[in-house]
Amino acid sequence: MSNLYEFRAKVLIAKTSLDGHWRGVSLVARALRDGGFEVILGGMLRPSQIAQVARDEDVDLVGLNVGGRIEVVYRIIDELKVVGLGGVPVFCGGTVPPGAATKLRDLGVDVYPPGTTLAAIAEAAHRLTSGN
Amino acid sequence: MEYQSASGIERRLIYDRSDVPDSWWDLLRSGAGEAPFIRGAYPEMYRSKPWRIFQLSGFGSPEDMNARLKFLLKAGETGIIVKHDRMTDDHLYDVDHPEVAERREDVGLTGTVTVGLRDYQTIMDGIPIESVYAKPGGGVPQSAPYTQSSYWSVALSRGLKLSQIAGTGQSDFFLTYLGCPCKEQIPPDAALRFNLDIIEFCNEHMPKWVPVSIAGYNGADSGLNAPQELAAVLSTAVEYLDGIQARGRLTPADFAHQIGGVNFRVSMDFFEEIAKLRVARKMWHDLLLNRYGISDPKASRMRIHVVTAGSAMTYQEPLNNIVRGTVMALASALGGTQSLGVSGYDEALSIPSDHAHLMSIRIQQVLQEETGLTSVVDPLGGSFYIESLCNDLEKRAWEVFDEIQGQGGFVATVQNGWLRGRASDEQTAQAKRFEENDLKLVGVNAHLVDDPIMHVDGFEGRSGDVTWAQAMERLTALRRERHTTATLTALRELEGVCRGGGNIVPAVMGAVQADASIGEIGQVFRDAFGVWNVSENEFGV
């Protein structure tokens, strides 16, 4: 649990694709904000822009709504490495089919598909930013 | 435990005659096909014409799209829908636009990718335009003139006349500014101009075409409850009716029938959704009569297209969604829909596989041909519960309608954030119910098994890299092979119409036929109208 003296972790939330589905993004962003995080909304930034904002804002976690293919997630991870943020954890939600989710998990990227509770997502964000 | 409908109407244990006012019983003296159309749009309903099996479809290259359309038609679909790639089509970006190139792997995943008119020839290859009912695309207003002009141009190139082509547009505000806002969309006032231009163009040239189809689906699946969906759909219609009237060339009586083909979402609250469709027809009739003095049944008979709720489809145990799809399809038929698309059972995982698409068609065919459902008109008419719900829903919906009109109308509530706020509130409330386990989803938070055995993987379509590279080649060829002077002249003419007056449709058709690319047309729009500012704060955070 957070208290006044505790560090408030920063999370960048962005969409990987231009599919336009916002319902999950806004719910998750709000849940994280209510869960004590500072939430930066990256909207529909391109992969290279996501990495730049993550660096400029010095974020502790990147949350990606995937409405497209996971190759774009790979590209974002590569872009994060380019700007020196290879160690920043990334987690994903959205329409990630099970096979694609397995590939992402193999890379160390947590995937929270539709049907995950917001509480579980907030808990994961706490875990990923506390280094446990 | 509270007993109430999805929109919050109390559910009593049992209903009787006294739960429905006499004034409502009086309305039921009118049969189907008679004003105010509560019991159905047509006298014989499905006996003379079963609802149209009308599935959203599209992915990959134009060849992929063509093959899927042929597959669906062969399986018994009775209308075709071409879904376009959102990145290129809805944004009017060429495939070499930086926004697309940096996400090239996504190309073709949300629909088929086109670079210009010649791709539309490929999409429609071997498909009889003269006999098929089509929705050629154009979910968002800025892409509607391009996609429809492309489809119509293919028809013209086959020697057909515009007056022979049957189908529907969409040009939907809910999708564009509420449910699925993307980047760089023309502002709502420009979108309204586009839609009014399309309505006027079709009024003159295309009697068999529904120029715009107000899509309550996209409002409802963004959160709006049933009364809000009804009110917002009717309020959109008011924008069209008043807008065309203000132009002074047509009166509402001349064209009201053109905008009476609308779309609703049907989700899992079975009885409320049935009631919603029945009461929608009455409200449309009453709106035209009371506000515009129109009583011609051709105009006041609302025709409904339903899409079953994608948001009701679960990621876990996806085969359960076949049951959900069936339940929602049944509600749609009992509500008297004219056409229906059933969301794929893999909706929460991906775009529909061919298998999921086939199931969506089979669900409808089984209902139409094996159950006796289609042989009786409005089989639930007179049910105390259904009629009580209709009466309640109507009252609530008119209240919301008045609230929207009081703010200056539908577009005003899009621009001032009010509609977004209502959708967001409903979404949050629903999420809270799921979070607290009050909203049960079988296989997700109820009745879980230790070892899930329903293995379904999402449909990935063709590799985005390949689809993108092929589209790049087609774009290069288009630019190389066309008569550039003619293209530039057509684009200048389009720009003149955008900045000046005149109907945009012939100008877009001219540009399409002169082999302008999708991105070139988009650039003219962006320069002339600017773009709507998608503030992230409008997304409920």
pLDDT digits (tens, 9 = 90+) for B81-123: 999 999 999 999 999 999 999 999 999 999 999 999 999 999 9
Q: Is the minimum CB–CB distance between A75 and chain B shorter than 8 Å?
A: yes
Is the complex ipTM higher than 0.85?
Answer: yes
**Which residue intervals of B104-180 are DSSP H helices?**
117-123, 144-157, 173-174
Q: Omega of the bond prior to B36 within 30 degrees of 0, cis?
A: yes
Q: Give A110→chain B minimum CA distance, Å.
A: 16
- pLDDT band for position A20 (cuts 50, 70, 90): confident
Q: Do B424 and A48 touch (CB under 8 A)?
A: no
What is d(CA B308, CA B324) in angstroms, rounded to the nearest whole number?
A: 9
Q: Do B103 and A16 touch (CB under 8 A)?
A: yes
Under DSSP, the state recorded for B140 is S
Please list, in sequence order, all residues whose beta carbon lies within 8 angstroms of the beta carbon of residue B160, skipping any fewer than 6 positions away.
B129, B130
Contacts of A99 in chain B (CB under 8 A): 457-458
Q: Is the minimum CB–CB distance between A82 and chain B shorter than 8 Å?
A: no
CA B166 to chain centre: 17
Residue B462 has pLDDT above 90, yes or no: no
- Which of B349, B434, B437, B466 would best serve as a mutation to test chain A binding (most A beta carbons within 10 A)? B349
Contacts of B180 in chain A (CB under 8 A): 19-22
Contacts of A23 in chain B (CB under 8 A): 179, 221-223, 311, 427
- Residue of B356 and B536 predicted with greater confidence: B356
Contacts of A39 in chain B (CB under 8 A): 541
Residue B372's Cβ-count burial label (10 Å; 0-12, 13-18, 19+) is exposed
Mean pLDDT check: name the lowest of B268-272, B387-391, B433-437.
Answer: B433-437
A22 to chain B: closest CA residue = B180
Calculate mean pLDDT across residues B127-152: 97
Of B98, B105, B314, the CB nearest to A115: B314
Residue B538 has pLDDT above 70, yes or no: no
- pLDDT band for position B303 (cuts 50, 70, 90): very high
Domain ranges of chain B: 17-42+49-408+456-539
3 state SS of B357: helix
Q: Is the minimum CB–CB distance between B467 and chain A shorter than 8 Å?
A: no
Q: Do B348 and A113 touch (CB under 8 A)?
A: yes
- Which CATH fold topology does A10-130 show? Rossmann fold (3.40.50)
Of B350, B534, B540, the CB nearest to A95: B350
- Which CATH fold topology does B17-42+49-408+456-539 show? TIM Barrel (3.20.20)
Contacts of A47 in chain B (CB under 8 A): 102-103
Calculate mean pLDDT across residues B489-505: 97
What is d(CA B387, CA B383) in angstroms, rounded to the nearest whole number?
A: 6
Residue B437 has pLDDT above 50, yes or no: yes
Of A33, A69, A119, the CB nearest to B541: A33
* H or E stretch at A65: strand A61-66
What is d(CA B375, CA B47) in angstroms, rounded to the nearest whole number?
A: 6
Q: Do B435 and A48 touch (CB under 8 A)?
A: no
What is d(CA B410, CA B408) in angstroms, rounded to the nearest whole number?
A: 7
3 state SS of A92: strand
Calculate mean pLDDT across residues B409-429: 93
**pLDDT value of residue B537:** 45
- pLDDT band for position B536 (cuts 50, 70, 90): very low
CA dihedral B118, B122, B126, B129 (to 10 degrees): -50
Q: What is the mean pLDDT of chain B?
A: 96
Q: What is the pTM of this model?
A: 0.96
Contacts with B, A 21-40, CB within 8 Å: 21-23, 25-27, 29-30, 33, 39
Write a three-state SS string for B394-449.
HHHHHHHHHHHHHCCCHHHHHHCCHHHHHHHHHHHHHHHHHHCCCCCCECCCECCC
Residues of chain A with pLDDT > 90, as a percent, come to 86
Q: Do A30 and B183 touch (CB under 8 A)?
A: no
Burial B196-214 (b: 16+ CB within 10 A, else e): bbbbbbbbeebeebbbbbb
Contacts of B110 in chain A (CB under 8 A): 17, 19, 67-68
Q: Give A89→chain B minimum CA distance, Å.
A: 21
**pLDDT value of residue A129:** 96
Q: Is the minimum CB–CB distance between A83 and chain B shorter than 8 Å?
A: no
The tens digit of pLDDT for each residue in B498-512 reads 999 899 999 999 999
Residue A125 has pLDDT above 60, yes or no: yes
Residue B144 has pLDDT above 90, yes or no: yes
Residue B480 has pLDDT above 80, yes or no: yes
The tens digit of pLDDT for each residue in B45-78 reads 999 999 999 999 999 999 999 999 999 999 999 9
Calculate mean pLDDT across residues B298-310: 97
Contacts with A, B 407-466, CB within 8 Å: 424, 427-428, 431, 434-435, 441, 444-445, 455-460, 464-465
- Which of A16, A18, A121 would best serve as a mutation to test chain B binding (most B beta carbons within 10 A)? A18
Mean pLDDT check: name the lowest of A4-8, A40-44, A110-114, B400-404.
Answer: A4-8
- Which of A25, A26, A74 would best serve as a mutation to test chain B binding (most B beta carbons within 10 A)? A26
Contacts of B348 in chain A (CB under 8 A): 95, 113-115
The tens digit of pLDDT for each residue in B154-180 reads 999 999 999 999 999 999 999 999 988
Residue A3 has pLDDT above 80, yes or no: no
B316 to chain A: closest CA residue = A115
Contacts of A114 in chain B (CB under 8 A): 314-315, 348
Of A43, A69, A118, the CB nearest to B106: A69
B220 to chain A: closest CA residue = A23
Q: Give A24→chain B minimum CA distance, Å.
A: 10
Residue A132 has pLDDT above 90, yes or no: no
Of A20, A68, A118, the CB nearest to B180: A20
CA distances from B501 to A79, B22, B497 (A): 46, 52, 5
Q: Do A18 and B103 touch (CB under 8 A)?
A: yes
What is d(CA B164, CA B208) in angstroms, rounded to the nearest whole number?
A: 7
A34 to chain B: closest CA residue = B541
The tens digit of pLDDT for each residue in B463-479 reads 888 999 999 999 999 99
